[in-house]
Amino acid sequence: MTGRWALSGDLGVIWVAAAGALALTALALLLWELGRARRRRRRVLRLAVFISGLVAAASLVLAVLRPVRIETRGRTLGARVVVLADASRSIDLPADGSGTRRRAMAEVTTALAERFRSVRVQALSFGQGAPEALPDLASAGKSAPQLGSDLTAALEEVARGSDEEPSALVVISDGRLDRPSGARLDRAVRAAMGRLEVPVHTVALASKSRPDAAIRSVRMAGAAVAHQPASIAVEVACSGGLSCSKLPVVARELRADGPALVRAKGTVQVEEGSGTLDLSIVLDQAGRRIVEIEIDSPDGDEIRDNDRRLMPVDVARDRVRLLHLAGRPTYDVRALRLWLKSDASLDVVAFFILRTPNVDKPSAPVHELSLIPFPVDELFTVHLSSFDAVILQDFDAERHDLLRHMRSVAEYVRGGGGLIVVGGETSFVSGRYDRGPLKEVLPVRLSGVDAKSAVDFASFVPETTEAGAVAPVLQPLRALLGAELPQMRGVNVVGDARPDATVLWTHPWLRTAGGAPIPVLALGEYGNGRSIALAVDSSHRLRFSSFAVGTAGRAHGAFWDALLGWLMRDPRFEPAVVELPKPCIAGRPLRLIVRSVFWRRVREQGGRAVMEVVKMGTGDRVHKLDVSLAAGDEATTVDLPPLSPGGYAAVVRLVEPGRAAPGRYEFACEAGGPEWADSRPDPERLAAIARVTGGVALSAGDARDVPVPDSSQILSERRVLPVAPPWSWSLLAALCLGGHWLLRRTAGLR
């Protein structure tokens, strides 16, 4: 409880001042009157008259005002202070001393906690978007770093808040902010603060730049198209007193199962601290690719993690480029050729063997019987990588000199190419595919099959497997035909499907050596690429047959469009889709989102899947875990432990229902990313923010000097106690006035 005296309990300050002024006027007149009569009156009597007049005037004022004592009961409430702590990735960079800026933030928050004992502190961390609430100041710097530092959004969120208006804001950062930028910073800060007119005090976590050569930015001009040059602008800078003039730069494409491919090299000329180099790269495969840009670290470079950047590139296809090789002129070859030529999105290079050596022996020179020589060597040594997919249809590998190029084809598929082997009398084992590396690429085994019985000519209707009944790749065909399929004439005898293959069609009665039905249509993965084994040469019956009349032959196009779409990783035919909601930061936990939107049974009941995370460049499997897929459109989140810097491929394979070829998603984890591209602190920007708002700018060592706003008194009870009864003041005034009047009469004054 506190108490104080007041001249009046019910009169305002104006009336108190008026009463005092009247009393002083009366005393002034009394002095003037006594001064005129001083020679005619005794000195003691004049003094008595003045004192009595003074007492009378005072008693009259007190009678008018009636003094009181005011007693209050309440408590002191500390001011509200909002602390905004930078949560960007840049606070893991070195500070001025031996530690990092994150460590400096811990020291600053400890000092502020001691300094702000008498105030109410609300701690927020800011990165990308709206700030996040922290339980206390000690939690600042412990949250997961973000790839962004947007102070403007944080100030706007505080200004829009419906809570009590803060008395001050404190920003803890290294000054390396995305917003507000240096241009018109004062306007940007005032606009962000809005109606909030409070000081913003800033604490800089670092002030000195370390010697550092870094890739400041990597930009791609336009979209990347497969097989076409794409331009990448690489900006390199040296800071902190590091001297560098020429720095070698290399661009590589990371692969999931092998070493990176060098796509471009160059040397950047660094002048006045920075330089830019344009690199031209050609990416052969469409889809998501990870491109690594790296500079040679010069001597004295203290921060080497920003000498390497990883850039995901979504490579589009202008047109799907196909190489179609047919070993014999058949109805199946004709039907496929007509469909390939009718699709404007396909760029087809086709070679058809119209006669076979050792069988057709006309008495004429070879150059008179060929439109052009079959360029097998040139195709498979020079131009193979320019194709998105290769179709080998009823093609004899031994007779047409393909055996010695099978290793090149296998490496082509491993690197991301597509392969379809279509059956016929001279395909699979009959075409000697079991004699080279190509047999490892196919989703079916060829070993153990006798070449003399490698083709069964009996007609049959393929049976659809459990996986085939729900696989997205057969949904366009099933939409036209339902569960029916045409009768096929003959099948190539192959072995069991590989463990990771997806079998969609099987033979109704023929069995492999292992006792399983012979695969007729199987899909598989090999390295970064995909392969399809179609062990029949009767898909033309989907177009030219009495069976195809009901659909006007459209089933053939739907069937082949889906096969090529799956081969090219078209999302329409993927069994599972993987997404990365936030960029991956090396050394921090990671979250992926898995959706299976095409498998009907999974959408209705849910299902199981297996996820493997593969390190690109080495092919090492770093994580493998089971995933329970949610039913319907709900996404399934998968939490992964921290990953080291590099490129990764997340491979998801559905295990129910049936077996399915996996969905793949490639992503990159960077040590610092764009937040480490420029390691220089910017305390000048923090000082400018403080100056605009009337705050103070301090270094990390001076955090204890942050101004502390005054506390507020909260009133809970107030009592007004009169010093004396009102009548007593009137009686005192009357007595004093009467005494003064008597003395005046005695002194002869009027």
Q: Give pLDDT tens digits for 165-181.
A: 899 999 999 999 999 88
> Parallel, antiparallel, or unpaired for β 80-86 and 168-173?
parallel
Residue 420: name the closest of 468, 383, 388 by CA: 388
Confidence check: pLDDT of 696 > 90: yes
In the chain, % of residues over pLDDT 90: 31
pLDDT digits (tens, 9 = 90+) for 419-437: 999 999 989 998 889 888 8
Split at pLDDT 50, 70, 90, the class of 368 is very low
- Region 123-139 average pLDDT: 88
Q: What are 239-294's pLDDT values in tens digits?
A: 988 888 899 999 999 987 778 889 999 999 988 888 999 999 988 877 788 999 99
User: pLDDT tens digit string along 92-102?
Assistant: 999 988 889 99
Local confidence band at 106 (pLDDT 50, 70, 90 cut-offs):
very high
23 or 342: which leads in pLDDT: 342
Residue 366 pLDDT greater than 50, yes or no: no
pLDDT per position as a tens digit, 431-457: 889 888 888 999 999 988 888 888 999
Q: What is d(CA 229, CA 46) in angstroms, rounded to the nearest whole number?
A: 114
User: What tens digit of pLDDT does each residue of 19-36 get?
Assistant: 778 878 877 877 777 777
181: tokens are: 């930028």
| Sign, Cα dihedral of 433, 437, 439, 442 | negative
Cα 188 vs. chain centroid, distance in angstroms? Answer: 25
Task: Tell me: pLDDT of 299 over 80.
Answer: yes
Q: How confident is the model at residue 661 (pLDDT cuts 50, 70, 90)?
A: low
Q: Do residues 70 and 6 make contact, with C-beta atoms less than 8 angstroms apart?
A: yes
DSSP 97: S
Residues in CB range of 247: below 8 A, 6 or more apart: 213, 236, 267, 268, 270, 275, 295, 296, 298
Minimum mean pLDDT among 19-33, 337-351, 557-571: which range?
19-33
Which range among 186-195, 539-548, 622-631 has the greatest average pLDDT?
A: 186-195
What DSSP character marks residue 555?
Answer: H
What's the whole-number average pLDDT of the chain?
84
How far apart (Å, rounded) are the C-alpha atoms in residues 437 and 414?
12
Helix/strand/coil for 449:
coil
Check residue 112 and give its pLDDT: 92
Whole-angstrom Cα distance, residue 473 to residue 207?
Answer: 59
Q: Per the structure block, which two tokens stand in for 591?
A: 């979250």
Assess whether pLDDT exceeds 50 at residue 363: no
Whole-angstrom CA distances from 223 to 281, 329, 668 are 12, 40, 19
Which carries the bigger pLDDT value, residue 561 or residue 673?
561
Smallest CA-to-CA distance from 229 within 279, 291, 286 is with 279
Q: What is the mean pLDDT of residues 623-628?
A: 84
Listing DSSP states for 296-330 in one string gives PPPTT-S--GGGEEEEEEEEE-SSEEEEEEESS--
Whether the per-residue pLDDT at 533 is higher than 90: the answer is yes
pLDDT score at 370: 47
Mean pLDDT check: name the lowest of 111-125, 583-597, 620-634, 667-681: 620-634
Q: In angstroms, rounded to a whole number, what is the distance separating the alpha carbons of residues 506 and 78?
A: 78
CA 329 vs. chain centroid, Å, equals: 53
409 burial (CB, 10 Å; 0-12 / 13-18 / 19+) is: buried
The model's pTM: 0.72
Quick: pLDDT tens for 214-231: 999 999 877 788 888 889
